Amino acid sequence: MTMGVDPRDLGDEDLIRELRHLHETRSETFFHGSDDALERHTSRTQELEGEYLERYPDRQVDPERLREGARQRSA
């Protein structure tokens, strides 16, 4: 069940803005939100992230964020 605007109806800029906002508020919700708030935050994040991945299946991946990049940094 989608609460708020269906992610499919958001333009690219709005989708990205919403995702950034959810990621900014995650810690506060996790540490201080009610169980319902945390559940809703999690489900909304999954909805928006799922839509983003559908639109951008070949999104740019930073090589430093891969295991090989981590190995090179620690060497």
Q: Identify whether the C-beta of residue 48 lies closer than 8 Å to the C-beta of residue 18.
A: yes
Answer for the pair 25, 41: CB distance below 8 angstroms, yes or no.
yes
The parts of the chain modelled with pLDDT lower than 50 are: none
Q: Longest Cα pair distance anywhere in the chain, in angstroms?
A: 47
Asked if 45 and 52 count as a contact pair (C-beta separation under 8 A), the reply is no
Specify the pTM: 0.81
Report the pLDDT value the prediction gives residue 41, as an integer from 0 to 100: 96
- Per domain, the residue ranges of the chain are 5-72
Q: Given this model, what pLDDT does residue 72 score?
A: 64
**Residue 66: its pLDDT value, please?**
83
